[in-house]
Each structure stands twice: as structure tokens, then as C-alpha cells.
Structure 1
Amino acid sequence: MNILIVDDDCLVAGALKTILEATKGLHVPACGSDGTEAVSLYRKFQPDVLLMDIRMKEMNGLEASAEILREFPDARILLLTTFSDDEYIIKALKLGAKGYLLKQDYQNIVPAIQAVFSGQTVFGNEIVSKIPSLLQKKQSFCYEDYDINDRELEIIGLIAEGMSNKEIASRLYLSEGTVRNYLSAILEKLNLRDRTQVAVFFYQHKS
């Protein structure tokens, strides 16, 4: 698995590279120091996962994420920062980032990268606890207007809880294939791109 690291602190980038490459199967082809470099390096290497800081000079990690995702909609971006700033969390979620971790959670970085690579969305415990209060409903919303049935709404809620397709299938006594079919229908009906946006949508319109 190729991991691209972008952090304006060269010591942090070097430490992350050492941590990652000490894990079998992980390789870091390059490190960048700002958002502009992140975009350039992503185009060159198209890594499996991009591990990127948020606060950087020139172009920050959120701006770089937006540019990369416009060009590569399936990019797996894991944002890593020392700040649990509410505005950053919201922007990361809405952009479609696959994860947001605090740097002090260094012991969770490798598992988070592996989870993101497998298709999961990862947010540290401190971040997850903030999401519901940050994404409060602004006005009443009717899922029926979007042809969302009760089962689909149930699955949307479980996705918002952070459950994988396998976990949802087990909870609802369905096959994983059936859950994937439901998710595809949900994405189409709500005009969303991925399960991260489903979770954001759910909390934004939660009663």
C-alpha cells in the first residue's frame, strides 16, 4: 500500500514515514510540505491513501483536499492535525475526506490508514463525539420526498453511527450485497457521493 505524507513539519513527516514503513505492506514513496505540493505529488504517485496535515502555509490541507477530490473523486484522504477545530471538522466531513485524526493519537494512525484503504471512514473518538452537535438540523426535512423508505432510512442511521456494510448486514440480518444495493440507491436518491456524505446528510437533517 502506497501512502503519501504531506506535513509542513519535516520532523513530523519523517517520524510518520518511519512509523508507517515499520509496518509490513506500507510504503511511503514521497513526502510533501504544503497543499500545493500535495496536489502535485498526488497526481504523480496517485497513492492508495494520502495522509495530510491541515494547517500549512500557501495552500492548507482542506484546500488541497478539495482540489484533489475534484480531479480524483475516489481519493482516500486522511487528515491529521493537532487541532480539533470545529470548523475544520465540518469542512473535512463535507469535502468527503475519509478520516480526521489528531496527531496525538499516533498509535491509531496505522489502523486508521488500513481502515480507510478498506473503504471505511475513520474519525477519532474526540471527533466523533462532536459531530452530532456540529451538524444540527436547520429546518424540517422529509426523507419521503426523496423516495427514501423505512429500511433505507434505518441504514442511513447506521452508516451515521460509523457501521461498515458488514456490521449493518449483521445488525439487520441482511447480506452485505443487499446492504451495498441499499447504499447505492440511497446515494442516487440523495445525490450524494459516498457514505461519509450520507453521515453528514443524516446529522444535518436529524430531528
Structure 2
Amino acid sequence: MELIVEDDGQGSEEERLLGGLDKLGAQLEQAGGNLQILSFLNQGITVTYTLPIADNSVHKPIKVVVTDSEPIVREALMALLSMQEDMEAIADPSGGVLLPELCERMQPDIILLATNHGELDYISLISRIKQISPTIKLMVMTSSDHDRQLAMEAIHLGAEGYIEKAIPSRELLSKIRLLYRGEMIITQQLAKQLVQTIMRQQDKTNEYGLTDRELEVLQCLSEKMKYKEIAEKLFLAEGTVRNYLSVIYSKLEVTSRSQATEKAQTEGII
């Protein structure tokens, strides 16, 4: 709001000042503000005015896509989300088949992706969605032990959340809001499985006794880098690189670059 106080040029300076302040005070009150005047002998006058800051920002609802091949479940979720003032529910009747096209068109914030479409390649689907827009957050919904393994793979591919279908409605809504704010949503069981997977990978690496430097050389080898390129990247002499490779071949019980790379990737060493 713009506040204007005009001086009409009439009266003494004191009268004009006080008249102007009176007008300013009246306008401030109309705007929800206030005016304070402090005057001290031989110290002049201090005029303080305050105005409330208006919040004109528009809070956009969280756009949530519901993907489930079972119409009853999908409709129930749609009804639940539609009742929330801060959410906009978007149905995907295709069960995920046409989800990438829907994402390009609607640009949702969150996708509730149920893993109950037997013929759907979820890994490729998630990868494609992340390519379309990395900002779209994926919440995988599962209902079986087999699907939990799929959820772990989805997390590795960049999915931000995992829940079980049996979750209470209030908890589901809470987790959607947390996910939207940037939180990672996974169950304690899945978190434990992820830690165990990482530990198994570390154990596999330790099983062959590879040092950190040998792992770096092996990683470069898997990227099809030449000896000279590996040496330049790791600040080593070419002869030193060859020595490292001899040791790596011996520890992995292989005899060539291709065998070393294949074994390291197959067993999760790199």
C-alpha cells in the first residue's frame, strides 16, 4: 500500500508538521499499522511508523500422481488426497504404462507408484521418469516381500520414498508432506536391508584384500582407460600402474583386464 501525505503550504511549520503526521497516522491505522512520536527537549523529534507485511505468496498444492493398477485402491487414494487442502490428486489409470507421458504433461511433485502391475518394467520406468525431471519425487508402494526387493532397487535408482500399502491414511499423508519437503522416506526394515547390502559389498572387497589405491586402479580399468591415462589420473608412473595391475590380477585370481573388470562388477567390488 502506498501512503501519501501532502503539504498544503498553509499555517506555521509546526502546524503543518503536526497536520501531516495526523494524516499519516490515520492512513497507517487504516492499513493496520501505527504511528509513534517521541519528542525530547533540545533533542529533536523521532517519528516511528510501522506497517504489517502482507503475505501475497500463493501456496501451490502438492501435485500427487496416484498410480495403481487396482481401480478400487486408486480411487480410494484419489478421494483421500482430494480432501486435503494442500494437495492436488492426479490419477494415472494406466497403472504406470503411460506414466512418463503424464509426467511430461502435468509435471507433478510426487508419484505414488504401486508395484502391482506384473508386466511393467519398473526399473526402466523409474529411470525414464528421473530423466524427464529429476525433481519429481517417487514414493514406491509395495505389498509383498518380492516388491520390497524391487523397492531397494528403486532407491538405488533415485526413488526418494518407500512405504507399504497397509500404512494408515494419516501416516501416508504425513509422509507425502515430508517427502515434498525433501525428507527421505523408508521403513526401518528397508534401511536395515540397505545397510546389510552395503556391508556385504564391503566384505566382498575385503575378501580379496584390495587396498584403496588398488580399487582406484581397478575402477579406472573398468572405465577402459589406458595405462598412461590411469597413470596421469592417479599421478603414478606407468610402471607403477602395471605393478598394481599385476597385484590386482593375482588377488582376484584372473589373468586379463576383461576378466578383472567382469569379476569386479559381477561381485560388486566396484
Task: Calculate the TM-score normalised by the size of structure 2.
Answer: 0.49
Aligned partners of 1:78 and 1:10: how far apart in 2?
Answer: 19
User: Where do 1:41-56 residues align within 5 Å?
Assistant: 41-56=102-117
What amino acid sits opposite 2:98 in the alignment? E
If asked which structure has higher relative contact order (CA below 8 Å, sep 6+), I would say 1
Q: Which of the two has greater strand per residue? A: 2
Look up the match of 2:135. Answer: 74
Instruction: Give deviations 1:44-101, integer Å, cap 9, x for gaps.
Output: 1110111111231442443321111122122211111112435313211211001011
Q: Is the 8 A contact 2:137 2:179 kept in 1?
A: yes
Aligned partners of 2:212 and 2:85: how far apart in 1?
Answer: 48
- 1:32 CA drift (Å): 3.0
RMSD, aligned α-carbons: 2.5
Q: How many pairs align?
A: 147
Which of 64, 76, 87 does residue 26 from structure 1 map onto?
87
1:97 aligns with 2:159: yes
Q: Is the 8 A contact 2:95 2:117 kept in 1?
A: yes
Aligned partners of 2:119 and 2:103: how far apart in 1?
Answer: 17
Aligned partners of 2:106 and 2:125: how far apart in 1?
Answer: 15
What amino acid sits opposite 1:115 in the alignment? L
Aligned partners of 2:84 and 2:188: how far apart in 1?
Answer: 23
Look up the match of 2:58. Answer: none
Q: Gaps (5+ residues) in structure 2? A: 1-61, 217-267
Q: Gaps (5+ residues) in structure 1? A: 147-203
Q: Any idea what SS the aligned residue of 1:51 has?
A: strand
> Given the superposition, is the C-alpha separation of residues 84 and 21 from structure 1 closer, same or farther in structure 2, using an over 3 Å criterion?
farther
Instruction: Give deviations 1:132-186, integer Å, cap 9, x for gaps.
Output: 223322315759x99xxxxxxxxxxxxxxxxxxxxxxxxxxxxxxxxxxxxxxxx
Q: Is the 8 A contact 1:2 1:47 kept in 2?
A: yes
Look up the match of 1:139. Answer: 205
> Given the superposition, is the C-alpha separation of residues 63 and 34 from structure 1 closer, same or farther in structure 2, using an over 3 Å criterion?
farther
Look up the match of 1:188. Answer: none
Aligned partners of 1:118 and 1:54: how far apart in 2?
Answer: 24
- 1:42 CA drift (Å): 1.0
Q: Any idea what SS the aligned residue of 1:63 has?
A: helix
Which of 89, 98, 101 does residue 37 from structure 1 map onto?
98
Q: Is the 8 A contact 1:99 1:123 kept in 2?
A: yes
Look up the match of 2:263. Answer: none
User: Where do 1:177-188 residues align within 5 Å?
Assistant: none
Aligned partners of 2:150 and 2:90: how far apart in 1?
Answer: 27
1:116 aligns with 2:182: no
Q: Any idea what SS the aligned residue of 2:97 has?
A: helix
Q: Which of the two has greater helix per residue? A: 1
> Given the superposition, is the C-alpha separation of residues 129 and 112 from structure 1 closer, same or farther in structure 2, using an over 3 Å criterion?
same
Q: Is the 8 A contact 1:52 1:61 kept in 2?
A: no
Aligned partners of 1:54 and 1:87: how far apart in 2?
Answer: 11
Q: Is the 8 A contact 2:78 2:91 kept in 1?
A: no
What amino acid sits opposite 1:93 in the alignment? I
Which structure is larger by alpha-carbon Rg, 1 or 2?
2
Aligned partners of 2:104 and 2:119: how far apart in 1?
Answer: 18
User: Where do 1:134-173 residues align within 5 Å?
Assistant: 134-136=197-199, 137=202, 138-140=204-206, 142=212
Look up the match of 1:87. Answer: 149
Look up the match of 1:172. Answer: none
Which of 190, 194, 212 does residue 127 from structure 1 map onto?
190
